[in-house]
Amino acid sequence: MTTHRELRDELGRLSTETHRSELAELDRLPTLEIAALMNGEDATVPAAVAARLPQIAAAIDATADRMARGGRLVYAGAGTAGRLGVLDASECPPTFNTDPDQVVGLIAGGPEAMVAAVEGAEDRADLAEADLRALGLTSQDTVVGISASGRTPYAVGAVTFARGRGALTIGLSGNAGSPLAAAAEHGIEIVTGPELLTGSTRLKAGTAQKLVLNMLSTVTMIRLGKTYGNLMVDVRASNEKLRARSRRIVALATGAPDEAIEAALNATGGEVKNAVLTLLADVDAATATRLLAASGGRLRDALDAARR
């Protein structure tokens, strides 16, 4: 078992935990100056992400390949990292009309850990294994372990167990040479350096994680045909704002007049992708449904098939 001193020394070697002596008087500075310092720190994050784009792209292509064969995307992390995974997963159903079980966020300690710390949960790799077993993890799935330190037992345990089951594994870490990246098939280490507040990895490291998760889920969904150009044609219109957005997307995709757009959406039960296909290919709703099913839901492929 790691002693308190050993753990302290281990943390001291992590770039995310490094103390910046030049900021020792931070609390004495004017508010505007502190805000400017923080903004300047945040501005360095995109460059750190850009440095790892080849690794991110490779992970996305591998994820999309598994999901195209029916696999799921599973995020696993503790604390801020776990919350970011749950957030990204929860945004996929309304944005891309995915099944709630298709993109899943696991956080050490369970749902209550979203709003309150669950003592010791992040230190238990066995909890990650239990959570993945409960999901019925298969070799078609993708598991993304998320940890700023790159050493969180829950995240490392999730990736280790998943890889042993033949699942695709991705390790997203904020430190170089991390156990998490080493355990995963695809290691992505976004090194953003010491935080404004020593060890507060919800800051730059958390921002980097959010950017990468945005990229991972969004580009994967683009690869799966969930968009038409940059239009969210699989959006789920579950409220008035999204219903208005649906109409606007159909208008942008087709250039059709309002009356035709309303008729198409009514005929297709509000399904944007189907409505676009009826208008662009001049087919009825039933034919649009058949063409989309035959093309795996890819609108461009369905359009090509309709025009042949």
Q: What would the pLDDT profile of 71-98 be if each residue is shown by its tens digit?
A: 999 999 999 999 999 999 999 999 999 9
Mean pLDDT of all residues in 35-50: 97
pLDDT of residue 307: 87
> Could you tell me the pTM of the whole model?
0.91
Q: Note if 262 is an active site residue.
A: no
pLDDT of residue 118: 83
Q: What is the phi/psi pair of residue 3, to 5°?
A: -80, 165
93-97 CB contacts, 8 Å cutoff, 24+ apart: 93/236, 94/235, 94/236, 94/238, 94/242, 95/221, 95/232, 95/234, 95/235, 95/236, 96/221, 96/226, 96/232, 96/234, 96/235, 97/226, 97/234, 97/235, 97/236
Mean pLDDT of all residues in 169-187: 97
Q: Fold for domain 11-223?
A: Rossmann fold (3.40.50)
pLDDT of residue 115: 86
Catalytic one among 22, 33, 91, 189? 91
Instruction: Please report, as a single letter, which amino acid is at residue 147.
Output: S
pLDDT of residue 238: 78
Average pLDDT, the chain: 93
Query: For residue 79, how many other CB atoms are within 10 A of its CB?
Result: 23
pLDDT band at 171; cut points 50, 70, 90 = very high
Residues 6+ apart with CB under 8 A from 214: 88
CA dist 157 → 38, 128, 195, 281 (Å):
33, 6, 26, 49
Residues 6+ apart with CB under 8 A from 54: none
- How far is the C-alpha of 87 from the C-alpha of 52, rounded, in Å? 22
Query: Which of 1.10.287.470, 1.10.8.350, 3.90.550.10, 1.10.8.1080 is the CATH number of 240-307?
Result: 1.10.8.1080
pLDDT band at 254; cut points 50, 70, 90 = very high
Supply the DSSP string of 17-85, one letter for each residue: G---GGGTTGGGS-HHHHHHHHHHHHTTHHHHHHTTHHHHHHHHHHHHHHHHTT--EEEEESHHHHHHH
Tracing tokens 């298709």 back to the chain, one arrives at 102
Q: What is the pLDDT of residues 226-237, one digit of tens each?
A: 999 999 999 878
Dihedral angle over CA of 44, 50, 55, 58, nearest 10: 140
Tracing tokens 């025009």 back to the chain, one arrives at 307
Mean pLDDT of all residues in 191-210: 94
pLDDT of residue 7: 58
**264 alpha-carbon distance from chain centroid:** 32
pLDDT band at 6; cut points 50, 70, 90 = low
Q: Domain-by-domain residue ranges, the chain? A: 11-223, 240-307
Residue 146's nearest CA partner among 115, 178, 120, 124 is 178
Say yes or no to pLDDT of 12 above 70: no
Q: Note if 122 is an active site residue.
A: yes
Geometric angle at alpha carbon 299, from 294 and 301, rounded to 5°: 60
pLDDT band at 275; cut points 50, 70, 90 = very high
Catalytic one among 6, 25, 122, 189? 122
Do residues 101 and 144 make contact, with C-beta atoms less than 8 angstroms apart?
no
Instruction: Give the rounded percent of residues in the chain with a pLDDT score beyond 70.
Output: 96
